[in-house]
């Protein structure tokens, strides 16, 4: 089984943001000293980074689901949650990131190109982490002094991407099957490709590092090509893309083939035709040299066979007339390999300088337009009527006659994710935000009526509810009477008792007033007792009175006294 993987589908998800805290600070003599809930931590992001130490995408074939760490929730005492750690995923240089297209449960196909990680250290954020929710201390203001809620953290971005590896090598060895490409790369480098005497032995590209004096370059052994490869025949397009990033194309031609309809010239022309057909459909990266303009060299192989050597000597002048350098070699006897090695090193050095010059020129020629940054200005999109809005509202219907209004916009979708719908105050806060943004006015303009179904967002993250434009954000009594603005606590009002801390003099005055009041009550009670206006309830004056505190309703026994000596009436 091959362990080279050059295209995989990866499901990436950024970490969720932590929830904010709705904590309340408490102090001595001050049961509600104000909000002190901290913010939630941001979630980590999934980031692809080009790394020269990564050689294939095999790890993502076995572990296609990658999730970054989530942020932690905020705490009381104004403690913010910690940020989730970013998930750094190394990929080989030359990896292209595509958006995955396809229905759920079906194989994905590449869509829009998202990033081209060509150089060491190139980065792409594939799935951004969610923002942490604000705590109630961040939501407090002059009118909302004690918020009893906090915002929830946003969910991390989640999607499928396709990673496609286009090998970055200095020299690409192309040729018919069994032309000796694997033998050549094994003779010139430390690579150990599979070598056998049957076609299509090489099923995956092989990379080898070649040293020529103090210079180093890489060779890519592209699997054997045949006529029709640009239309997908043979291994076809599966590996033709690996020559897109190479700077030099080396034709390895088998001069010892026994097939009657093949010769070095026809082999070269057939492969050049396939390369030209394939190059016509390419979109080359910035500064890249088009395939037809890249230098070619001809490598006539297997000249250890006498007939092959004669044929190589015969066709060499024909290739030189076309302006190409020709090398006659044998991978079995290593004839001509030293000259080929140093010639390739010189050509690679020149091409590297040319590519660097082209990239610099393209970068300088590019015009980058950046919008002016103005504080306080919001980015808006124009709807079909030309009005500037931060959102769009459309009336949707299904085949059953049901309808709803769909609200799409970055702000409304983010706000509903941050709302705790179990908290009435948080729901009222959301209603105020949507009304201030203009959602309610736009719903009325679109014909929405109270009770109609409203959906904010799309897909699994959409929130559905019945529209109630009269919803109040402030607290209400049981009879519906509002008690104040949202988040208002009567204990924090300036004229409310306990709103501020009393001084020692005020405490002494209040204490003395309380003691004087108690003494006055005791004196009044004693005067009433002495005047007989009221009796001590602990004394049972009349046991026969059923209405008395201790009355038992006993019968009257005239002239007799009880055993206890009490007078009987």
Check residue 102 and report its DSSP letter: S
On whether 135 is known to bind a ligand per the annotation, the reply is no
On whether 175 is known to bind a ligand per the annotation, the reply is yes
Q: Provide the sign of the torsion angle of the four alpha carbons 396, 434, 147, 376, taken in this order.
A: positive
Cα–Cα distance list, 485 to 255, 426, 497 (Å)? 91, 13, 19
On whether 222 is known to bind a ligand per the annotation, the reply is yes
On whether 200 is known to bind a ligand per the annotation, the reply is yes
Check residue 57 and report its DSSP letter: S
Check residue 422 and report its DSSP letter: T
Looking from the CA of 547 toward its CB, the CA atoms found within 13 Å total 0
On whether 176 is known to bind a ligand per the annotation, the reply is yes
On whether 167 is known to bind a ligand per the annotation, the reply is no
Distance from C-alpha of 517 to C-alpha of 81, rounded to nearest angstrom: 53
Asked whether the beta carbons of 316 and 300 are under 8 A apart, the reply is: yes
Q: Which of 304, 317, 337 is nearest to 265 (CA)?
A: 317
Burial class, 262, CB count within 10 angstroms (exposed 0-12 / middle 13-18 / buried 19+): middle
On whether 221 is known to bind a ligand per the annotation, the reply is yes
On whether 179 is known to bind a ligand per the annotation, the reply is yes
Asked whether the beta carbons of 487 and 147 are under 8 A apart, the reply is: yes
Hey, which residues does 30 pair with through a beta bridge? 27
Hey, which residues does 212 pair with through a beta bridge? 215
Check residue 538 and report its DSSP letter: T
The interaxial angle of helices 424-437 and 410-417, nearest 10 deg, is 170
Distance from C-alpha of 59 to C-alpha of 5, rounded to nearest angstrom: 9
Beta strand segments in 386-510, E: 388-389, 392-397, 403-408, 453-456, 463-466
Distance from C-alpha of 296 to C-alpha of 289, rounded to nearest angstrom: 13
On whether 203 is known to bind a ligand per the annotation, the reply is yes
Distance from C-alpha of 431 to C-alpha of 445, rounded to nearest angstrom: 18
Distance from C-alpha of 451 to C-alpha of 539, rounded to nearest angstrom: 69
On whether 95 is known to bind a ligand per the annotation, the reply is no
On whether 302 is known to bind a ligand per the annotation, the reply is yes
Contacts of residue 296, Cβ cutoff 8 Å, sequence gap at least 6: 248, 249, 250, 251, 324
Instruction: For residue 200, give the 3-state DSSP assignment.
Output: coil
Distance from C-alpha of 559 to C-alpha of 540, rounded to nearest angstrom: 20
On whether 91 is known to bind a ligand per the annotation, the reply is no
What does the block give as tokens for 94?
């030359």
Cα–Cα distance list, 349 to 212, 287, 297, 340, 354 (Å)? 11, 16, 15, 14, 9
On whether 330 is known to bind a ligand per the annotation, the reply is yes
On whether 180 is known to bind a ligand per the annotation, the reply is yes
Distance from C-alpha of 5 to C-alpha of 404, rounded to nearest angstrom: 46
Give me Rg for the CA atoms of the chain: 43
Asked whether the beta carbons of 448 and 467 are under 8 A apart, the reply is: yes
Distance from C-alpha of 155 to C-alpha of 461, rounded to nearest angstrom: 9
Cα–Cα distance list, 63 to 8, 89, 391 (Å)? 10, 12, 38
On whether 177 is known to bind a ligand per the annotation, the reply is yes
Phi and psi for 144 in degrees, rounded to 5?
-120, 80
On whether 204 is known to bind a ligand per the annotation, the reply is yes
Distance from C-alpha of 291 to C-alpha of 172, rounded to nearest angstrom: 11
Asked whether the beta carbons of 265 and 254 are under 8 A apart, the reply is: no
Binding residues: 175-182, 200-204, 221-224, 301-304, 330-332
Binding residues for Mg(2+): 182, 202
Binding residues for GTP: 175-182, 200-204, 221-224, 301-304, 330-332
């Amino acid at each position: 089984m091959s362990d080279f993987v050059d295209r995989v589908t990866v499901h990436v998800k950024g970490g969720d943001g932590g929830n904010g805290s709705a904590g309340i600070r408490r102090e001595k003599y001050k049961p509600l000293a104000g909000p002190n809930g901290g913010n939630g931590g941001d979630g980590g992001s999934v980031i692809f980074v080009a790394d020269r130490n990564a050689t294939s995408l095999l790890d993502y074939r076995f572990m296609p689901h990658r999730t970054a760490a989530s942020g932690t929730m905020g705490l009381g005492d104004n403690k913010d949650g910690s940020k989730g750690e970013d998930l750094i995923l190394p990929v080989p240089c030359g990896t292209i990131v595509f958006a995955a297209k396809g229905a759920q449960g079906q194989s994905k196909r590449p869509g829009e190109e998202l990033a081209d990680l060509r150089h060491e250290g190139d980065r792409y954020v594939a799935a951004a982490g969610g923002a942490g929710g604000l705590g109630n201390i961040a939501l407090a203001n002059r009118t909302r002094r004690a918020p009893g809620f906090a915002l929830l953290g946003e969910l991390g971005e989640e999607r499928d991407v396709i990673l496609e590896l286009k090998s970055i090598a200095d020299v690409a060895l192309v040729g018919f099957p069994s032309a000796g490409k694997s033998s050549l790369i094994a003779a010139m480098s430390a690579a150990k490709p599979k070598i056998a005497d049957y076609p299509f032995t090489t099923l995956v590209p092989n990379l080898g590092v070649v040293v020529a004096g103090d210079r180093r370059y890489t060779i890519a052994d592209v699997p054997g090509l045949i006529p029709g490869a640009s239309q997908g025949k043979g291994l076809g397009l599966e590996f033709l893309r690996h020559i897109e990033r190479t700077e030099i194309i080396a034709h390895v031609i088998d001069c010892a083939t026994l097939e009657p309809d093949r010769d070095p010239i026809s082999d070269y022309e057939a492969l050049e035709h396939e390369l030209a057909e394939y190059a016509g459909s390419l979109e080359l990266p910035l500064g890249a040299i088009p395939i037809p303009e890249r230098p070619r060299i001809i490598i006539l192989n297997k000249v250890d066979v006498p007939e092959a050597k004669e044929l190589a000597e015969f066709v060499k002048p024909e290739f030189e007339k076309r302006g190409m350098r020709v090398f006659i070699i044998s991978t079995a006897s290593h004839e001509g390999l030293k000259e080929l090695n140093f010639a390739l090193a010189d050509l690679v050095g020149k091409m590297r300088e040319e590519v660097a010059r082209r990239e610099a020129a393209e970068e300088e020629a590019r015009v980058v337009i950046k919008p002016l940054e103005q504080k306080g200005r919001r980015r808006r999109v124009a709807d079909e009527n030309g009005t500037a809005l931060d959102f769009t509202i459309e009336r949707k219907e299904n085949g059953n006659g049901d309808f709803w209004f769909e609200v799409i916009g970055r702000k409304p979708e983010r706000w509903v994710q941050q709302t705790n719908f179990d908290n009435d105050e948080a729901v009222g806060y959301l209603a105020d935000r949507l009304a201030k943004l203009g959602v309610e006015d736009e719903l009325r303009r679109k014909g929405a009526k109270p009770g109609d179904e409203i959906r904010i967002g799309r897909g699994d993250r959409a929130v559905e509810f019945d529209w109630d434009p009269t919803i109040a954000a402030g607290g209400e009594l049981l009879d519906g009477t509002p008690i104040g603005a949202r988040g208002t606590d009567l204990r924090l009002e300036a004229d409310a008792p306990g709103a501020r801390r009393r001084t020692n003099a005020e405490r002494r005055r209040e204490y003395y007033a309380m003691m004087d009041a108690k003494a006055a009550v005791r004196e009044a009670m004693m005067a009433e007792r002495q005047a007989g206006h009221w009796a001590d309830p602990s004394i049972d004056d009349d046991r026969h009175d059923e209405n008395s505190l201790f009355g038992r309703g006993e019968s009257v026994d005239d002239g007799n006294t009880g055993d206890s000596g009490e007078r009987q009436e």
